[in-house]
């Protein structure tokens, strides 16, 4: 995805809800790691492309702490496709196109 905002805005959205950022690291994940992380998508036609794309460049990993952070995080991030993501979500507000980062 191409983005039109700084990382600080994304972090601030979680912090405003009272969640605590406990770890952050820039990594290039292996295809195996990406495959495990997105295991629920393995039967989708885009799965291999997703694994190849995400394992081909640096990704910023963040670990958040707080009650309900996973459920809230999924809602806050929004649908993967910016045209289908609700206003008020990170992708809905900040992403421009699917498939390109930065």
pLDDT in tens, the chain (102 residues): 555 567 888 899 999 999 999 999 999 999 999 999 999 989 999 899 989 999 999 988 999 999 999 999 999 988 877 888 898 888 888 877 665 434
The verdict on 25 and 61 lying in the same domain is yes
Q: Identify the pLDDT of residue 98.
A: 65
Residues ≥6 apart with Cβ < 8 Å to 64: 14, 19, 20, 21, 22, 73
The verdict on 48 and 85 lying in the same domain is no
The verdict on 54 and 35 lying in the same domain is yes
Q: Identify the pLDDT of residue 85.
A: 85
Distance CA 9, CA 7 (A): 5
What is the distance in angstroms between the CA of the first residue and the CA of the last residue of the chain?
7
Domain count of the chain?
A: 2
The verdict on 54 and 91 lying in the same domain is no
Distance CA 76, CA 68 (A): 12
Q: Identify the pLDDT of residue 101.
A: 38
The verdict on 59 and 89 lying in the same domain is no
Distance CA 12, CA 26 (A): 19
pTM of the predicted structure, to 2 decimals: 0.73
Domain that holds residue 32: 20-65
The verdict on 58 and 35 lying in the same domain is yes
The verdict on 72 and 60 lying in the same domain is no
Q: Identify the pLDDT of residue 2.
A: 52
The verdict on 75 and 92 lying in the same domain is yes
| Contact (CB, 8 A) for 89 and 9 | no
| Contact (CB, 8 A) for 21 and 15 | yes
């Amino acid at each position: 995805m191409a983005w039109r905002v700084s990382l600080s805005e994304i972090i601030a959205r979680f912090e405003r809800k009272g969640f605590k950022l406990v770890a952050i690291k820039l990594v290039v994940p292996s295809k195996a790691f990406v495959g495990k992380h997105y295991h629920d998508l393995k039967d989708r036609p885009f799965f291999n492309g997703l694994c190849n794309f995400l394992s081909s460049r640096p990704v910023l990993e963040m670990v958040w702490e707080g009650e309900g952070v996973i459920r809230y995080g999924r809602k806050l991030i929004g649908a993967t496709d910016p045209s289908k993501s609700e206003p008020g979500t990170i992708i809905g507000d900040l992403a421009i196109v699917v498939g390109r980062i930065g």
